[in-house]
Structure 1
């Protein structure tokens, strides 16, 4: 029973991390284009650009970043 519970938790955590990544793409694509156009979305430059423009990003994008970061960014 403990193994099944642990497996269930890992599946929920994986689904949550995938949802956070999908939300990041959905809510931040416009902001990425506006403030960081031409940068690799998965690159360190994009992270630096988002950090630089944090106050300019949409509320939904900032929330998606916070959720993604809270799951370890995986």
Structure 2
């Protein structure tokens, strides 16, 4: 059940890209469980958590997110 919720959350959390949902999920599954397991299944919390950990994400996952802006408090 958590894995299914993760898929849904990640598909909404990521910046729009040409990647398929399967590619997105594959790229970020480990990072999401490592950094954001507490946020699953809440898609908004997953998105916020992944953005908070942007600098720590694996390169394939990081490529799917917009980088933080100067206005972001964590950047």
For Structure 1 versus Structure 2, the TM-score category normalised by the shorter chain is 0.5 to 0.7
| Structure 1 residues not aligned, in runs of 5+ | 1-16, 67-74
CA RMSD between the two structures: 2.3
8 Å CA contact retained: 1:20, 1:64: no
8 Å CA contact retained: 1:23, 1:64: no
Identify the residue that residue 13 of structure 2 maps to in structure 1: none
Specify whether residues 32 and 62 from structure 1 end up closer, same or farther in structure 2 by C-alpha distance, changes over 3 A only: same
Structure number with greater CO (CA < 8 Å, separation at least 6) is 1
Identify the residue that residue 63 of structure 2 maps to in structure 1: 63
Deviation at residue 24 of structure 1 after TM alignment: 1.2
Identify the residue that residue 23 of structure 1 maps to in structure 2: 23
Runs of 4+ with >6 A deviation: none
Find the aligned partners of 2:28 and 2:40 in 1 and give their Cα distance.
Answer: 13
Identify the residue that residue 43 of structure 2 maps to in structure 1: 43
TM-score calculated relative to the size of structure 1: 0.55
